[in-house]
Amino acid sequence: MLHDALTMKGHLAIAINGEVVQEVPNLVVDAGKDYVASRMAGTSENVMSHMAIGTSSTAAAAGNTALGSEADRNALTSSTVTNNEVAYVASFGAGEGTGALTEAGLFNASSSGTMLCRTVFSVVNKGASDTMTITWTVTVS
């Protein structure tokens, strides 16, 4: 019997002022899986283009379509494909998305849009003068 299972999983590295302070897994949400399937069928839905950060500690769930409490959303600075991985990178400069951050998500729009992934993590404190870079890798295997 032939058995093939396609899975998607993600991993996030959060750096403050150039130093990685946390690495966490993520959840590819139902809307994100639907998004991938629709792109395979050739729909014209926008590509993933933005990353958002927030302050909610509510656990990530398959049915999520938005962050619990979005603090800031920025355009991706890069997205690259290598073999079966897509690496998305976003930067949050001084004064952007400051505070006790606990969640992040990938979206295909500057507001609202389709969410591909969401994660919740231990508090990362981003001060007003800090810069933060998040590298989010999604693996299809």
Question: Of the candidates 100, 96, 108, which has an alpha carbon nearest to the alpha carbon of residue 133?
Answer: 96
What is the model's pLDDT at position 3?
59
Can you tell me which residue has the tokens 């639907």? 34
What is the DSSP code (8-state) at residue 45?
P
Interatomic CA distance for residues 99 and 133, integer angstroms: 15
Contacts of residue 103, defined as CB under 8 A and 6 or more positions apart, other chains included, come to 53, 54, 55, 56, 57, 60, 67, 68, 69, 118, 119, 120, 121
Report, as an integer, the average pLDDT of 56-63: 96
Give me the residue spans of the domains in the chain. 8-140
pLDDT tens column, 92-118: 999 999 999 999 999 999 999 999 999
